Amino acid sequence: MIVIGIEGKPGSGKTTLCKYLSKKYSIAYVEVDKVVRDNGLTKVRNILLSGVTVLTKVAKSRKGVYKRKINGEKDKIKNKIRTPIVLKVAVGFYYKTLAKKIKGQLQYYENKGERIALVDYALLNVSDIWHEFDYRVWVSRDEQERREAVKKRDGKDENQVDFISLFAEMDIVKYGYGNVIHISNNGDKEVLYEKGDSLFKKIVASLEDCLEEEER
């Protein structure tokens, strides 16, 4: 089974793209938020978000600028915040449990004979699950539009959006973009859908070519 990870920062449009592709082509779709709800991980995630809110205040200097700086993928993160051990344990539990549940769901679809599966992979959710992906699709969006989308969708204030964005950048530094396919989202759903269609057809064609070679 081919696994396609649709990645990106919160509010980038990856879930919109996943739902469109899964419905149009009737393919398996692992929605991480649903996995969280179905497996009783919502409370753990809320605890983590509360911890993030606290660290937001700690992370800011008197001038309101984050002390932690990220200069590039290969650079180390400077001025690290001392993360409480309880929060670290909660993060570890959350990541490992969620990754295990997602892998189990992918195995379920493979056993059913599904040929392709989508995973809605938000940074800050399961930062190591991308090892399971055959294709990584990175959805990007204008930063200001993305931030406004997160505030509107999740009811976050400016500080919370700032810190969530910072954590996303930390994921990028730690795990990198890797060998990914980039899709730019300009806010027009129809254009996003067209790009998704084009990409999906190329992946399917590639899959069919591989199957033909195996049969030979």
Percentage above 90 pLDDT, the chain: 21
Q: Residue length, the chain?
A: 216
pLDDT at 196 over 90: yes
In terms of average pLDDT, the best of 64-73, 100-109, 144-153 is 100-109
Which range, 19-33, 59-73, 162-176, has the best average confidence (pLDDT)?
19-33
Q: Distances from the Cα of 56 to the Cαs of 66, 129, 163, 164, 215, in angstroms?
A: 9, 26, 6, 9, 56
Nearest to 163 by CA among 95, 94, 97, 83: 83
First to last CA, the chain: 19
Residues 41-52 pLDDT 10s? 888 777 776 766
Class of domain 2-215: alpha beta
With a cut of 70, say whether residue 86 has pLDDT above it: no
pLDDT above 80 for 205: yes
Tokens of 187: 């806010």
Please write the tens of the pLDDT for every residue from 116-167. Answer: 999 998 765 555 777 788 888 888 888 888 888 888 887 777 766 765 665 5
* DSSP per residue, 14-51: HHHHHHHHHHHHT-EEEEHHHHHHHTT-HHHHHHHHHH
For residues 113 and 116, give the distance between their C-alpha atoms in angstroms, rounded to a whole number.
Answer: 9
Q: Which of 45, 2, 3, 17 is nearest to 139 (CA)?
A: 17
Q: What are the boundaries of each domain within the chain?
A: 2-215
Predicted model pTM: 0.74
- Higher model confidence: residue 94 or residue 184? 184
